[in-house]
């Protein structure tokens, strides 16, 4: 069948790469895609990924049998609903189910209702009441804008002054627009983070191997928060016992809960977790694959991704078993100098073929083809993935790939997987 992939980042390049392995995949189209994806798919330009009608029209023209949605915005725009209404299968949650990511208040309501372990929290729509609350409590908080804020809507605060400033930024200065009309003030959780992605058809849940992201820009988890500077899988912090606990206490209740709410959730559910002294607790749910988690999880998937996605859409996931490789994968993000702040674009990238020839997977994220060259066009430029029998050899392989690639102003973290290496040694 023909497949249409929506999105343009490293996550989408990894999805495209795995989709192309499937014997079920005939022609792969990507909207808008990127130069890496263009090596294995036909990229379609001039179609807005926020325009459902245009996407449905394209899917009909290209005789698409399955649509795969990468980013959250089209999901929240109801692209899966629109495709389904047009008789086209689409992998991902409906608009109503995607609210689990789209509204942090909604996610908290669901977690409370279905007794899913998470940080204690209060919701405020009124700034002065929120001020009173943080002044009374005087503890560290995670203060979160309710709506989508491109991954920037969470501020961690230690002091009352910091909390007040964060509230003012969101609710008075409207730094995140309407996303900050309501805020969630959450208890600060201590622990190690992990990401567990799961396939689900709304009924059956099959977790993927656990991974760990590195959100801070610089080595030693210093510097500002980013979209993610690197990942590895499997994450040893998620022992088999903890995985079982996450499945029973978090994944199963949330999927059963969404069904009970009349918003059955299908697709990939991303649980961002904090492994606290009391056990794993939910930091956030995302309604999509993680970026750059996907870049390390999919290389470990032994089965046919298209077959699994179709089973999620068709409600037949219970018939499937999914196998994972025993090895490990590590992704190092190569970024533009200045990211996540402002940075220059248009820098020529060299060494891509050498890295691939040496056995790394090189996923494009912020690149552009220009005059026969590949140049930088975003903050996170590439995700270089090394695979190996264990984390240590996968780390070495990933950095070997990174060392062959160059562009002006490039920076990356040198300590991806440090927690895993410390735990394993």
**What is the binding site for ligand GLY (CB under 6 A)?**
213, 228, 286, 290-291, 293
Instruction: Specify the residue for token string 């805020």.
Output: 183
List the beta bridge partners of residue 348: 375
291 binds, among ligand AMP, ligand GLY, none (CB under 5 to 8 A by kind): ligand GLY
Report the candidate in 112, 100, 32, 15 with the shortest Cα–Cα distance to residue 66: 15
Considering the complex, what minimum distance in angstroms separates the CB of residue 325 from ligand GLY? 21
235 binds, among ligand GLY, ligand AMP, none (CB under 5 to 8 A by kind): none
290 binds, among ligand AMP, ligand GLY, none (CB under 5 to 8 A by kind): ligand GLY
Of 186 and 213, the one with the shorter C-beta distance to ligand GLY is: 213
Cα 81 from Cα 345, distance rounded (Å) = 36
Of 5 and 196, the one with the shorter C-beta distance to ligand AMP is: 196
Of 9 and 236, the one with the shorter C-beta distance to ligand GLY is: 9
Of 72 and 96, the one with the shorter C-beta distance to ligand GLY is: 72
Of 22 and 286, the one with the shorter C-beta distance to ligand GLY is: 286
Of 81 and 284, the one with the shorter C-beta distance to ligand AMP is: 284
Of 141 and 285, the one with the shorter C-beta distance to ligand GLY is: 285
Considering the complex, what minimum distance in angstroms separates the CB of residue 227 from ligand GLY? 6
303 binds, among ligand AMP, ligand GLY, none (CB under 5 to 8 A by kind): none
269 binds, among ligand AMP, ligand GLY, none (CB under 5 to 8 A by kind): none
Of 186 and 293, the one with the shorter C-beta distance to ligand AMP is: 186
24 binds, among ligand AMP, ligand GLY, none (CB under 5 to 8 A by kind): none
Considering the complex, what minimum distance in angstroms separates the CB of residue 153 from ligand GLY? 12
Considering the complex, what minimum distance in angstroms separates the CB of residue 104 from ligand AMP? 7
Of 187 and 203, the one with the shorter C-beta distance to ligand AMP is: 187
62 binds, among ligand GLY, ligand AMP, none (CB under 5 to 8 A by kind): none
Of 5 and 142, the one with the shorter C-beta distance to ligand AMP is: 142
150's CB contacts (< 8 A; 6+ apart) are: none
Q: Which two tokens stand for residue 383?
A: 């995700």
Report the candidate in 365, 420, 364 with the shortest Cα–Cα distance to residue 395: 420
Considering the complex, what minimum distance in angstroms separates the CB of residue 147 from ligand AMP? 12
Q: Are 290 and 283 in contact (CB under 8 A)?
A: no
Cα 260 from Cα 95, distance rounded (Å) = 16
Considering the complex, what minimum distance in angstroms separates the CB of residue 342 from ligand AMP? 21
Residue nearest ligand GLY (C-beta atom): 290
Report the candidate in 380, 212, 365, 197 with the shortest Cα–Cα distance to residue 288: 197
Considering the complex, what minimum distance in angstroms separates the CB of residue 142 from ligand AMP? 3
193 binds, among ligand GLY, ligand AMP, none (CB under 5 to 8 A by kind): ligand AMP
188 binds, among ligand AMP, ligand GLY, none (CB under 5 to 8 A by kind): ligand AMP
Considering the complex, what minimum distance in angstroms separates the CB of residue 224 from ligand GLY? 15
Considering the complex, what minimum distance in angstroms separates the CB of residue 103 from ligand GLY? 16
Site residues (vs ligand AMP, CB under 6 A) = 119, 142, 154, 156, 186, 188-189, 193, 215, 272, 283-284
Considering the complex, what minimum distance in angstroms separates the CB of residue 94 from ligand AMP? 22
């Amino acid at each position: 069948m023909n497949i249409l992939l929506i999105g343009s980042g490293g996550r989408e390049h990894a999805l495209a790469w795995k989709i192309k392995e499937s014997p079920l995949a005939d022609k792969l189209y990507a909207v808008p895609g990127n130069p890496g994806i263009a090596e294995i798919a036909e990229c379609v330009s001039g179609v807005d990924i926020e325009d459902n009608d245009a996407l449905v029209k394209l899917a009909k023209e290209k005789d698409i049998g399955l649509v795969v949605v990468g980013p959250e915005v089209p999901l929240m725009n109801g692209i899966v609903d629109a495709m389904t209404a047009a008789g086209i299968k689409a992998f991902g949650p409906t608009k109503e189910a995607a609210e689990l990511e789209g509204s942090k208040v909604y996610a908290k309501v669901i977690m409370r209702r279905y007794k899913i372990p998470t940080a204690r929290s209060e919701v405020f729509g009124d700034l002065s009441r929120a001020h009173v609350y943080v002044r009374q409590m005087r503890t560290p908080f995670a203060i979160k804008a309710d709506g989508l804020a491109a991954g920037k809507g969470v501020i961690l605060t230690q002091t009352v002054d910091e909390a007040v400033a964060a509230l003012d930024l969101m609710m008075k200065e409207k730094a995140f627009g309407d996303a900050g009309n309501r805020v969630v003030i959450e208890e600060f959780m201590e622990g190690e983070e992990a990401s567990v992605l799961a396939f689900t058809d709304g009924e059956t849940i099959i977790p993927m191997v656990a991974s760990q992201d590195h959100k801070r820009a610089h080595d030693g988890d210093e510097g500002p928060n980013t979209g993610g500077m690197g990942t590895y899988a499997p994450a040893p912090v998620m022992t088999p016992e903890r995985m079982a606990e996450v499945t029973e206490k978090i994944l199963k209740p949330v999927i059963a809960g969404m069904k009970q709410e009349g918003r059955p959730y299908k697709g990939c559910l991303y649980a961002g977790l904090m492994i606290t002294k009391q056990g794993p607790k939910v930091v956030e749910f995302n309604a999509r694959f993680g970026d750059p988690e996907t870049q390390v999880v999919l290389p470990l998937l032994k089965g046919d991704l298209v077959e699994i996605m179709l089973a999620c859409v068709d409600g037949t996931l219970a018939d499937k078993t999914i196998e994972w490789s025993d090895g490990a994968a590590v992704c190092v993000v190569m970024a533009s100098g200045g990211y996540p702040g402002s940075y220059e674009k248009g820098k020529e990238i060299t060494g891509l073929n050498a890295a691939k020839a040496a056995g790394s997977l090189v996923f494009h994220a912020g690149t552009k083809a220009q005059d026969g060259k590949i140049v930088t066009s975003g903050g996170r430029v590439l995700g270089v993935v090394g695979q190996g029998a264990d984390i240590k050899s996968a780390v070495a392989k990933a950095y070997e790939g990174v060392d062959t690639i160059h562009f002006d102003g490039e920076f990356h973290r040198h300590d991806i997987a440090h927690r895993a290496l410390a735990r394993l040694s």
